[in-house]
Structure 1
Amino acid sequence: MKNAPFKIFILDDDVWYSELLEYHLSLNPDYELKKFHSAKDCLASMYERPNVVTLDYSLPDKNGDEVLKKIKEQNPDTQVVVISGQEDVATAVNLLKKGAYDYIVKDEETPERLWNTITKIRENVSLREEINQLKEEIGQKYDFSNVIIGKSEPIKRVFAMMEKASKTNITVSINGETGTGKELVAKAIHYNGPKKKTPYVAVNVAAIPKELIESELFGHEKGAFTGALARRLGKFEEANKGTIFLDEIGELDISLQSKLLRVLQEKEITRVGGNTVIPVDVRIIVATHKNLAEEVKKGTFREDLYYRLLGLPINLPPLRERGGDILVLAKHFIDAFAKENGMGRKTLSAEAQQKLLSYPFPGNVRELKALVELAAVLCDEAVIQEEDINFSANHIVRDFLDQERTLKEYTTDIIQRFLNKYDNNVLLVADKLNIGKSTIYRMIQNKELSVE
């Protein structure tokens, strides 16, 4: 795409002047130039999809307004630079409103101004092409087969549901244990769906303190609260026209659930401290490790919000239920790690494979990845043996307790390990360790813990 010629049509009934512009622009050998002396001939050639049309405003067969309109109707991406012998501000403003890129008055500086204008247009076209290329690459990266690796029946059912989800903008709810790849599935659905070239914004609900979540989601106005020094757009505004992924939605405080429900129903938000109603058009994908139906029964999750978010449910199976996928994933992770680190090819012995298949993997795919990468490092030969795979953490615990440290230091280390293990999910860690979430937030604020 970058090597394609940059096409410029010069439309001017003055033969001498069109040749002057052609000569000046031909100094750039990358430009492909074509002259036209009537609007009829130029419009008949618009199928060639020029990047730029320089338009003489005063043509004998059609006026400039009409030609501009027809060019934009046929090729909205074609930029039109109007060149006129009249310095009429009202006309210039009107043409710019109708889609002209620039309005240049004919004088001795016109060729130079036109050169600069077209240079800017080409830079913008190149940037747009690079962005589109990156989006295509992202789409390929999140191709279903690249995101979820496996051939088991449970994972085939997931593929089928992802395929259905990607064909429409239906709300999707993803349920699965920590480490099963919920966010990867959300990204794959977005980048393979109708909104793939629009924003994708992810929010980890559990990682945001209760008092900040409303501002994070819906934004705030300057002065809305202490520390609000400037207006800030919320995640819903950032995701407008695209997708918002609300991870660990089950952790959303009950007091904020009604506000989220209203946003989903009305498709509009109001920033904290503001009165302006802002329309938003976003696709919703949510994920949780909790059983939301059970949370509804407990009274911790609104029933109306539950049904609003249920949409198309996708249940990610834990790794222990995926059978031979364990070995398929292990090989994938080992190959990728070896290539990234310049190692030779590594394979798993039959005993090592059996050892992996017999383990329940409470940490799911994330645990498997860490485990086989470590095994690849520990292995001295080309074949990873059974002894290179170590599930036991007893020696780690022993070494940990043998260190002479204060109780506070031990406590900080334990909380940090759990934060790392559970992706900085503060509420989940607080629940696992049976401590107050405010304690963890305070330690993060005091920089005793890291959530980077």
Structure 2
Amino acid sequence: MLDFKIFIVEDDKWYGGLLHHYLGQNPDYEVTLIESGKECLAQINRKPDLVTIDFGLPDMNGEELFKKIRQAQPNLPVIIISAQEKITTAVDLLKMGVEDYLVKDENTQQLLWNAVIRLREKQSLRHEISELKAELKTKYDYSRSIIGNSPALQGIFKLIDKAAGSLINVSISGETGTGKELVAKAVHYNSNRSSQPFIAVNMAAIPKDLVESELFGYEKGAFTGAQTRKSGRFEEANGGTLFLDEIGEMDPNIQSKLLRVLQEKELTRLGGVSKIKLDFRLVVATHKNMAEEVKKGNFREDLYYRIVGLPLTLPPLRERKEDILLLTQHFLTGYSKENGIHEIKLSPAAREKLLSYDYPGNIRELKSVVELAAVMSENNLIEPDDITFLSGNTNDVNAVLNAELTLREYTRLIIRNYLKRYDDNVLLVAEKLDIGKSTIYKMLQTGEIEGA
């Protein structure tokens, strides 16, 4: 089936036939030669993908025909082909929205061929972008991205719907590993800001002396090492959503500056004087009880009431055990696809073992347990002995050591465990493990390990 319709509007039969023959060499093009503007308008309901117009038609000039085509089909691309070389005419037509303006000479055929190729590439790119946007919405469709049928999760879905339908700030609370960032993305990608940026910042993963420049950006020369101007995360999120994870770790000085940004809807970069207007939707997350943090004096009360907006409390996995096997199947399917192997199954006894555990690390821990079990399994079937729980059991620790991981993999496993144990307190974990805090910060920032 021909997939690209081209109308050539040309009253010179010989020249029109030349263009018709030239473009018709591509079997994907359905080329129709039309001799007048009126005939072109009469056939416009055939919905061509491109119209080329001779500027000097006998019944109307190219500009008149272009305007009438634009009224009938506003997005239909038009190329003007003219014997005159007036630059002002070409510029005026291009400003009006003509796709291209070609002068009749010995190069016209090749230039037209190239123009059609460029146009099809542009259309293909627009189609790909449209598909990607549709994929994003599908990717964060609740039934596909947040796995589970438990009543507790269904209640969260209803709140996500309410949040996505408004611009209210959203505060997400829940234990480590319950999927707070995934919920934040679901809110964003199901809102009317879905085509705009989603900028995520983990407050626990940024050294305190870098937080201000990271959020607010800076001007060239603002401090030693500031060689160029840099936009901050607030600016990057303009028009979209800013997700501040582990908001409870925010320094009091930055808390006051965040409050000012939320109140004034503007900021000034470090070292700058100009006010930059902002429009972003704020979503925050924490594993802490923020009301208690306010009582303890660790978090500003006025900021707390600014950010709390619509609160969503994610249930721990132990309170939605009916979702464990659904999540397990989801992780096994993903693991099998990523590794190009047949899908791995669970034996009945393995299912019982997975259901018997409370998962203090929640969904993130379950994912680690399932993927390690997949590695240890034989013949694409996971048995109970393949399942190693990673929290607090000496026998399980020995099993992990026997898994023959690389040193880097063991390092990631140990640091991730310590971060869970000490609520993502990087300084304390660095002290406990006797390693540099920059090592942990770098692994968090690159995604090699994940915080809460």
Normalising by structure 1, what TM-score?
0.80
Matched ranges for 1:63-212 at <5 A: 64-65=62-63, 67-69=65-67, 71-72=69-70, 75-212=73-210
Contact 2:180 2:314 (C-alpha < 8 Å) held by counterparts:
yes
Residues 385, 426 of structure 1: alpha-carbon distance in 2 compared, 3 angstrom cutoff: closer
- Alpha-carbon displacement from aligned partner over 1:174-203 (angstroms, at most 9, x marks no partner): 222111111222223333333333433322
Helix, strand or coil at the partner of 2:331: helix
Q: In structure 1, give the amino acid aligned to 2:180.
A: K
CA distance in 1, matches of 2:108, 2:137: 43
- Alpha-carbon displacement from aligned partner over 1:249-299 (angstroms, at most 9, x marks no partner): 332333233443444445445443344444444333332222333333344
What displacement does 1:126 show? 1.5
CA distance in 1, matches of 2:438, 2:139: 38
| Higher mean C-alpha displacement, 293-302 vs 177-186 | 293-302
- Alpha-carbon displacement from aligned partner over 1:18-60 (angstroms, at most 9, x marks no partner): 3333222222222233344444554565555543332344455
What displacement does 1:308 show? 3.3
What displacement does 1:109 show? 1.7
What displacement does 1:380 show? 4.5
Q: What is residue 405 of structure 2 aligned with on the other side? A: none
Contact 2:344 2:382 (C-alpha < 8 Å) held by counterparts:
no
| Higher mean C-alpha displacement, 208-217 vs 318-327 | 208-217
Q: In structure 1, give the amino acid aligned to 2:425.
A: V
Contact 1:79 1:100 (C-alpha < 8 Å) held by counterparts:
yes
CA distance in 2, matches of 1:55, 1:287: 58
| Higher mean C-alpha displacement, 269-278 vs 283-292 | 269-278
1:349 aligns with 2:316: no
Report how many residues are paired: 439
Alpha-carbon RMSD across the aligned residues, in angstroms, is 4.0
Q: What is residue 394 of structure 2 aligned with on the other side? A: 394
Q: In structure 2, give the amino acid aligned to 1:394.
A: T
Unaligned ranges ≥5, structure 2? 402-407
Counterpart selection for 1:216 from 208, 214, 217:
214
Matched ranges for 1:43-442 at <5 A: 43=41, 45-59=43-57, 64-65=62-63, 67-69=65-67, 71-72=69-70, 75-338=73-336, 340-341=338-339, 342=341, 345-350=344-349, 352-380=350-378, 384-391=382-389, 392-395=392-395, 417=413, 419-421=415-417, 428-430=424-426, 433=429, 435=431, 440-442=436-438
| Higher mean C-alpha displacement, 372-381 vs 427-436 | 427-436
Residues 400, 144 of structure 1: alpha-carbon distance in 2 compared, 3 angstrom cutoff: closer
What displacement does 1:421 show? 4.3
CA distance in 1, matches of 2:412, 2:215: 26
Q: In structure 2, give the amino acid aligned to 1:103.
A: Y
Contact 2:388 2:399 (C-alpha < 8 Å) held by counterparts:
no
Q: What is residue 405 of structure 1 aligned with on the other side? A: none
Q: In structure 1, give the amino acid aligned to 2:248.
A: G
Instruction: Give the % identical residues.
Output: 53
Contact 1:444 1:450 (C-alpha < 8 Å) held by counterparts:
no
Unaligned ranges ≥5, structure 1? 402-411
CA distance in 1, matches of 2:234, 2:141: 25
| Higher mean C-alpha displacement, 392-401 vs 321-330 | 392-401
What displacement does 1:148 show? 1.5
What displacement does 1:365 show? 0.7
Normalising by structure 2, what TM-score?
0.80
CA distance in 2, matches of 1:216, 1:27: 56
- Alpha-carbon displacement from aligned partner over 1:288-316 (angstroms, at most 9, x marks no partner): 22233333334433444333333332221
Contact 1:246 1:286 (C-alpha < 8 Å) held by counterparts:
yes
Contact 2:203 2:244 (C-alpha < 8 Å) held by counterparts:
yes
CA distance in 1, matches of 2:420, 2:5: 51
CA distance in 1, matches of 2:303, 2:39: 59
Q: In structure 2, give the amino acid aligned to 1:209.
A: P
- Alpha-carbon displacement from aligned partner over 1:87-113 (angstroms, at most 9, x marks no partner): 223333333333333222222222221
CA distance in 2, matches of 1:64, 1:427: 69
Q: In structure 2, give the amino acid aligned to 1:173.
A: S
Contact 2:430 2:436 (C-alpha < 8 Å) held by counterparts:
no
Contact 1:21 1:111 (C-alpha < 8 Å) held by counterparts:
yes
Helix, strand or coil at the partner of 2:199: strand
| Higher mean C-alpha displacement, 249-258 vs 109-118 | 249-258
Residues 398, 280 of structure 1: alpha-carbon distance in 2 compared, 3 angstrom cutoff: same
CA distance in 2, matches of 1:24, 1:363: 66
Helix, strand or coil at the partner of 1:83: strand
Q: In structure 2, give the amino acid aligned to 1:245.
A: F
| Higher mean C-alpha displacement, 358-367 vs 136-145 | 136-145
| Higher mean C-alpha displacement, 426-435 vs 112-121 | 426-435
Contact 1:419 1:451 (C-alpha < 8 Å) held by counterparts:
no
CA distance in 1, matches of 2:225, 2:273: 19
Q: In structure 1, give the amino acid aligned to 2:191.
A: G
Helix, strand or coil at the partner of 1:324: helix
What displacement does 1:164 show? 2.7
Q: In structure 1, give the amino acid aligned to 2:346.
A: T
Residues 203, 443 of structure 1: alpha-carbon distance in 2 compared, 3 angstrom cutoff: closer
